[in-house]
Amino acid sequence: MEFNQKEPIYTQIIDDIKIKFINGTYQPGQEIPSRRELAKRLGVNPNTIQRAYREMEEMKLIITARGQGSFMTSDTSILDALREEALEATVSQSIELLRSFGKSDEEIATAIHKYLEKGSSR
């Protein structure tokens, strides 16, 4: 994992785990790496991983069972909400970028419809 300098490492780790949950790398209820294991794998301070896990526990994204490890939530409504959040953020960023190129909302909508039609005929 490559870290950027713009945001804290622990938030980048949270985002990475969210993406892995959304794309199916981590399944609901699946055990995730221990704090020590992930710190070693990523080459970061264990306290950074501890903070990321604590935040994810507060979000109800992971559940930690003392002596057993940490697991992705089994609550699929949380997964659905993450997927919706990711969709909304991606669409918003894309539209704002296209607007900055001088494209009108009508042009953007037309381009999206054309793209989707092309994709459905494959």
Q: Dump pLDDT digits (tens) for 25-44.
A: 999 999 999 999 999 999 99
Residues 16 and 69 in one domain: yes
16 has pLDDT over 80: yes
Q: Are residues 42 and 23 in the same domain?
A: yes
Give the integer Cα–Cα distance in Å for 101 and 57. 40
Residues 14 and 66 in one domain: yes
The verdict on pTM exceeding 0.85 is no
Distance CA 26, CA 18 (A): 9
**40 in helix, strand or coil?**
helix
Question: Looking at the domain assignment, is residue 4 inside a domain?
Answer: no
Please report whether residue 2 resides in a domain.
no
Residue 67 belongs to domain spanning: 9-74
pLDDT at 121 over 70: no
